[in-house]
Amino acid sequence: MEFALCVLIFFTVMLLTLEFARMLYVWTTVQEVTRRAARAAAVTDFSDAGAIGQLRSNAILGGASVPLAPFLTTARLRIEYLSQAGSGALSPVSSMPACPAANKANCARDPNGGDCIRYVRAAICSTASGACDPVPYVPMTPLLPIPVNVPPSPALIPAQSLGWRPGMASCS
């Protein structure tokens, strides 16, 4: 009887320890995923859907979801292209340029315009559009309900080439 009680307590503590370690792994991995996605999006052609799909897969560590966290998928990875007003405020680009060459021309014309991509932000959100609500954490076993959310961990990177190369043909 004593052994049964001790084993029950021991396994409960062990499961809680494993779950806590997994939660820390997920939070750290989400930060790395958003950093990788923002960095890659800053140099990838935003008008090429195939390249963006590959970027998402590579950012999620080469798969459709994060290892040990199947609830964190490429569909939850949000990549936003931002413009910067003269006041310094960031906002989503009002009208996306047709290609990287068009963005380069827009930024040369008016660097604070709503059609000039100046920054790229990546985050893990529960929905693809709207407010970036955190994703609920899903424990390994339903016996241990843990009411916490995975932080969105947004990563903000200045836009770089966005896939533009010298000599690239204009798309407009």
At 156, is the secondary structure helix, strand, or coil? strand
Provide the residue-wise pLDDT of the chain in tens; the chain has 172 residues: 888 889 989 998 998 899 899 999 999 999 999 999 999 999 999 999 999 999 999 998 877 788 888 888 889 999 999 999 989 999 999 889 998 999 999 999 999 989 999 999 999 999 877 889 999 998 888 777 778 899 999 999 999 999 888 877 777 5
C-alpha to C-alpha distances, 74 to 56, 69, 77, 87, nearest whole angstrom: 6, 12, 5, 33
Please give the DSSP secondary-structure letter assigned to residue 23.
H
Determine whether 149 is exposed, middle or buried from the number of CB atoms within 10 Å of its CB (0-12, 13-18, 19+).
Answer: exposed
Q: Which residue has the tokens 């140099």?
A: 43
- Exposed e or buried b for every residue in 71-107, given b needs 16+ CB within 10 A? ebbbebbbbbbbbbeeeeeeeebeeebebbbbbbbbb
Expressed in angstroms, the distance from the first to the final Cα of the chain is: 79
Any idea what the Cα angle at residue 62 is, between residues 57 and 64, rounded to 5°? 55
What is the C-alpha to C-alpha distance for residues 79 and 98, in angstroms, rounded to an integer? Answer: 17
What is the C-alpha to C-alpha distance for residues 45 and 56, in angstroms, rounded to an integer? Answer: 13
User: pTM value?
Assistant: 0.86
What is the C-alpha to C-alpha distance for residues 70 and 139, in angstroms, rounded to an integer? Answer: 11
From the centroid of its chain, how far is CA 68? 17
